[in-house]
Structure 1
Amino acid sequence: MKTGWARAACSDSALCGISKGHLGVLVAELAEPWQARRESELRERRGHGRLRAAGAGPDHQLVFVDRVLVTLVALRWALSHRVLAVLFATSASTIGRAVGEIRPLPAARGFAVPDRPAVRLRTLADVSAYAKAEGVTLRIDGTEVQVRRPKAMARSAARRRNPVRTQDLRPARTGLRARRRPRETACDGYRRALAAHREAAPPSRVDPGIAEAVERQNRAMRELSRRAFPEPDVVPDDAPAPIEQARAQRRRQAAVTEAAALRRARQERAVPDVRYGGRCPGAGCAAAHGLSQLSEL
């Protein structure tokens, strides 16, 4: 993907904030310090000097001019590194490294003062002193810049594998002391003041008529509550439950009915019946007849 259009757009003064002529001068001034710092970092990383000629090896994803442009646009508009990465067909981490490399160079170069090329403002103290001497009003830019911060509870893998074990060096308690009350540990002055306050407090004075009216009202409310919600009959602990009483009564009634049926059956068996021609029915018939009467009862 070609990035010529992105370079042309970012080099416009509306985005980078400086004219193209000033941009050319800035690139020429910053190229030598950037190259020197780059060679120093590579020498420190390798541990020795260069073995191949300058220019050998892979090319940079962002050339030096593009690095200066993305730094100016990011500082002027606080533009996200992801957006610049899309414009220059690279990654956000590459944009972040480019801004980190180029940003210290203009700061060390200093800020130029209009109509005074020899004056350079490198620190905030220099800017404040110049504004005070020239009567210039300073304005602070409070634009919020989104930054990436590490998580509060993030831990490295090595720390998870080898956690730090702490040891409590405080002396152990031999026993628990009883909690003291504030009045027990109070000074004598506090106790005297508390006693004087209690003596000076006037006793409560209640009108006897009001107290009697309140008592009558309470008795009336208790009587209404007793009528509305009567107390159930108290059943002794050894008394059988109502269900058990009903079952016992039914068993007694069944026994009385069975005894009456048996007596009737015996009487009918002793007296001749006309249905059997004046003969006495057998024991089986009498029993069946008595059981049928028992079932009818």
Structure 2
Amino acid sequence: MFVDRLLVTLVYLRLGLPHAALAELYGVDRSAVSGAIREVRPLLASRGFAVSDRPGLRIRTLEDLFAYADAEGVELRIDGTEVQVRRPRAGRPGRRAFVSGKKQQNTIKTTTFSDDQGRTLFSGVIRPGRMHDQTAVRSEGVAEQFRQHPGVRAKVDEGYRGLANEFPDQVSAPPKKPKDDAPLGEHHAWRERRRRQSSARICVEHTNAEYKQWRPLQRFTGRRETYAETHLAITGLVSDRSAQRATRRKPSTELVLARQTAC
């Protein structure tokens, strides 16, 4: 039955158990488990990403994402994450492409887009670990989407400084550190602006942490060719759950009198 194949695939995506272990658990042949996963995983990957308060809407492409953010006035949060993968065999072309300069491991990089509540809107832009975050988003056409949608705003970290320099009115990166000989007041102001920007952006890092609760996105031991499909399937499922979270009310920063003073 399709429901049984779906359950096997969900268990595999959540726990990352070997196919042989799943076959023993469900009392079937290993080939049946592998076939079920190959059948159901692409269906889950093609579902797209759920949107809060829009039950019938699914975001499947970057074009969908920016059109939605522009229409609804959603300020995006953008951040990259890496997942360790198996090292390519010696002699294969492009073997060094997966070596991450940051982690010194073989990884695959992805880029996450969330709203200001940390709810997944899109996750993709899948590239080998050696590629810089900035290069990855440019090669996927993110910069072009900012040009086509000048009303879209986003907050990013230092890794997307070039994007912030190109679109200063749309993309907010951490403020640049003042020179060492600058007045002490400038350093205090810089730290406070940096703290505020980080506080507004950190929700997307929490979104990436949600993905890492799924075993295959902690360390992917399957074939690298299937990583993109696995990633999209898992993040789409995470978006279904995050879209159900109620929108938290933002506390006002406007100063008000605690009590009326007599003249």
Q: TM-score of the superposition, structure 2-length normalised? A: 0.28
Bigger proportion of residues as strand: 2
Larger radius of gyration: 1
Bigger proportion of residues as helix: 1
